Amino acid sequence: MATLSFEYDYDFQLIGLYCHFKDYRLAWALNKMFEFDFVKQDPYSIKNKEDTQEFSCYTFLIEHQELYYYLLANRSEHGLLIPERKDIDYFIIIDGIYERSKKKEFISQLSALNEVLSAVEVNPKGLRSKQNLLME
């Protein structure tokens, strides 16, 4: 009997944000600075053995570029989205074709925001709990 196995695609850009502000304040600042239109979604849910964790989630789509932006909180009432990165408060996921040179500039601009203490590039493939970042 053959077994079907497959590997998930973690081909997206991931940026970690250090920020002490509430999610709506951060989304507002990003919208203002980058002329984005982040919209609050239903909470992003992760089911584990004990319970379901819900994380704040905002999305923004640039249709003509087929570029999706997700703003996800790393903290919920019951734990962390990415436990091994407890130092990070929020993640920005950029899904679609995104130029590497633009990413460095974007991270620099994020770090310059008053609401953001620091922004760092994170390699999703190097995270133990990377499956928690797979947006449906």
Predicted confidence at residue 6, as pLDDT, reads: 44
- Going along 4-127, which residue ranges are E strands? 13-18, 39-40, 44-47, 52-55, 57-62, 67-73, 75-76, 79-80, 90-95, 118-122
Which residue segment(s) compose the domain that 68 sits in?
Answer: 13-133
Please report whether residue 5 resides in a domain: no
Please report whether residue 4 resides in a domain: no
* Stronger pLDDT, 23 or 48, i.e. the higher one: 23
The DSSP line for 108-129 is HHHHHSTT-SEEEEE-GGG-TT
Please report whether residue 7 resides in a domain: no
Please report whether residue 58 resides in a domain: yes
Please report whether residue 19 resides in a domain: yes
Please report whether residue 53 resides in a domain: yes
Number of domains observed in the structure of the chain: 1
For 1-33, write each residue's pLDDT tens digit.
555 444 556 678 999 999 999 999 999 999 999
For 56-99, write each residue's pLDDT tens digit.
999 999 998 889 999 999 999 889 999 999 999 999 999 988 88
Determine the residue type at 112: A
Please report whether residue 1 resides in a domain: no
Predicted confidence at residue 5, as pLDDT, reads: 45
